[in-house]
Amino acid sequence: MLQLVDAELPAARQEIEHELLRIRGEIEIRELYFSRLAAALHNIDRCEDAESEQTTVDWIRHNCRLTQQAASDRVRIGEKLPVMPRSENCLYTGEVGIQHLAVMARTAVAVGDAFDEARLLPLAKKHSPGRFYHESLHYRHSLRPKEVAEEQADLAENRHLSLSTAEDGCLILQGVLDPRRRGRGAHDARGVGTNLLGPPRRGCAGKPTTGRGRNGWPTPWSRD
């Protein structure tokens, strides 16, 4: 049985930040190598058995314990490295991360031969991966507006939000929101919770006391 050894952690903030950046950089480089291997495995699978029920992404997902999106991204990154050499170099220098390369690779797949790394790399250096994703959508829209519009329409068509009650009385919100309504949806969800439950009432000690929502229903912090 393996025994875990408690690591000695630095105490100063500056030392902790430095260590986080150092380790993250090592992980990013290993992730890049992992992506190369994933693409190599995908190439073997395509050549050996095109009719196999298990795809390369499925194998990586199950055996390497990744989500579908993460496994797919690793394959894409490995396949598209030849068309984004400058981005790869920027990962080595710490200017971008593996998630930036994932967005870059998805974009390369989406636009095909029209992909231009030089237009996207400055945006990747400037923005976080999440913001860079939205910037890449603008880039894709400039090249293939019809396809992007269809994707956005599909996301909007399949959005949903449901509200159910658990056995202990807690309210459960479940749903899928398209990117354009995600912020508004979060605001609406908070509004639903406020309207149904009402604000918590606090005593002089600052702890929640008994209370009921605007509709007279007991709130989760109620004791009656």
Burial of 108 (0-12, 13-18, 19+ CB in 10 A): buried
Angle among Cα 125, 129, 135 to the nearest 5 degrees reads 80
Could you report the per-residue pLDDT of 67-122, keeping only the tens digit for each? 999 999 999 999 999 999 999 999 999 999 999 999 999 999 999 999 999 999 99
Residue 110 lies in a domain: yes
Domain containing 111 equals 13-157
- Say whether both 23 and 131 belong to one domain: yes
Residue that the structure tokens 């209370």 belong to: 211
Whole-angstrom Cα distance, residue 69 to residue 71? 6
My answer on whether 108 and 167 are in the same domain is no
Same domain, 110 and 210: no
Same domain, yes or no, for 118 and 176? no
Alpha-carbon span 189 to 183, nearest angstrom? 10
Is residue 212 situated within a structural domain? yes
DSSP code per residue over 73-100: HHHHHHHHGGG-HHHHHHHHTTSS-HHH
Let me know: does 172 contact 166? Beta carbons within 8 Å.
Answer: yes
Where the chain has pLDDT below 70, the residues are 1-5, 49-51, 148-158, 160, 176-224
**Domain count of the chain?**
2
Write down the pLDDT at residue 153.
Answer: 63
Based on the domain organization, do 94 and 163 belong to the same domain?
Answer: no
pLDDT score for 15: 95
Where do runs of H (alpha helix) occur along the chain? 13-48, 56-63, 68-80, 85-92, 98-111, 117-126, 129-143, 145-157, 179-197
Tokens of 99: 């998630």
Distance (Å, rounded) from C-alpha 77 to C-alpha 62? Answer: 19
User: Is 20 part of a structural domain of the chain?
Assistant: yes
pLDDT at 48: 81
